[in-house]
A and B are shown apart, each in its own frame.
Chain A
């Protein structure tokens, strides 16, 4: 466009207005104290508030408390350096959620001499979510390599502990003739040796060694499941609703759960989509994923004082080329720190001894590596958490 027409174009107030009013990003103007002087119509589209609820209001009313300081610095820096500045922050949506926005703003003095910062805010929530998932994936690949190595190294010594404990039991057993012979050779009575060991609780100690070893072995086995690259077990086409119901049944009969929390007190709501296509999956594995998520929800709700009665809602739906399973609870929810780490092996918020911190990392591995799906968690502190498992229709292919 030749310079002449450019000049004409930008001189035209109506053209400016049209650009501003039709922008997909929010265009705003803030005074130096942080009050909105102007917001473009995109605000309503992106954040749901009516312009009248925003114009004239302090920007701090809309920004996440943890991001206010950063946003104040953004305004101050733009004014002080008289240059464009950028900031990323969470902003409140009318539906109650937080959205991530990145704003670029420049100071501007208008005809009346009033100083404002004029900026453009772009919604980056989805981009950040994908970045977060990628970081998560990389982290998991690294951790799973470590887990496999560790599991392998620990298995042999653990085998020796378990098997030698068993050998000790055998070598003092009355059932083995060689034991009687060896005892006689050194001049002791096997009966007396056994009586002594019994009285001093040695047999119990050996039993404890074996139990402890088996517990450790269970953890190692979970780690191996977490770290396995792939599995050749045949996938089956199954009815998802039936599979979810079976997982709920399993959760109801889980002995560990009964001890700590009575599953019958949880209200279960099923919102299954009708006529979902059957997709190929390894039934036992997906059952384990759901069981781990349900157990996690039940345990979280067990320690949570709430006027609401505990409830787990299970939903299924078709979304494009994917089937989505949602498991929502109305428990205590989790903070952002926990949410970002929840799938890491050995990350647990439960008391020592309650959980190993492996259940959800195993779920993560099964869904992402085993079934080429994704698993995410959304949560609000005090309101509950929702796990979202997405599985591709074409299965693991």
Chain B
């Protein structure tokens, strides 16, 4: 499996953050798409069927939690991660979807190479490839 086989969808309204994470993941060879809101991302889910979807918590419109709940209905096999600047414990809803404490990415991510490993592992464990 190569990184190019792994599709990642990054949902963040902050262009600066989207840009730097997308750039890094693209350099690593992943197929990366960005969305600025939960609504936009939901529109892309069915077609992309991403292996991994990383969503910011604070988004305009629906927040990251609600987005993941809705996105999960469309793509239950996707591995979801929540990117947040606050200390955060997973809600019961997200736990019920199979998310774990290490699916919460605390801002700022110091070392994106760790995220790369995480994405690869998730894609493998997710059994999509």
Contact = CB atoms under 8 A, between A and B. Distances in A.
A279 interface: no
Contact of B17 (A151, A159, A232, A233): A159
Interface string A211-247: 0011001000100110010011100000000000000
Contact of A217 (B19, B24, B110): B110
Contacts, number: 69
Nearest to A165: B20
A228 B23 CA distance: 32
Interface in B91-128: 106-113
A171 B112 CA distance: 14
A130 interface: no
B27 A171 contact: yes
Contact of B108 (A163, A225, A231): A163
Contact of B86 (A152, A156, A217): A152
B26 to A, nearest CB: 9
The size bracket of the interface on A is 20 to 34
Interface residues of B, number: 22
Interface string B11-39: 00010110111011001000000000000
B89 interface: yes
A159 B12 CA distance: 13
B89 A176 contact: no
B24 A167 contact: yes
A164 B27 contact: no
Given A167-B24, A171-B27, A162 B87 contact: no
Contacts of B43: none
Nearest to A225: B87
Interface of B: 14, 16-17, 19-21, 23-24, 27, 58, 85-87, 89, 106-113
20 contacts: A151-B85, A152-B85, A155-B108, A156-B14, A156-B85, A157-B16, A158-B107, A159-B109, A163-B17, A163-B24, A163-B109, A163-B112, A166-B111, A166-B112, A166-B113, A171-B27, A210-B110, A224-B86, A225-B87, A232-B89
Interface of A: 148, 151-152, 155-164, 166-167, 170-171, 176, 178, 210, 213-214, 217, 221, 224-225, 228, 231-233
Given A160-B108, A164-B20, A224-B87, 15 more contacts: A155-B85, A156-B16, A158-B108, A159-B108, A159-B109, A160-B19, A161-B108, A162-B109, A167-B20, A167-B24, A170-B27, A217-B110, A224-B86, A225-B87, A233-B89
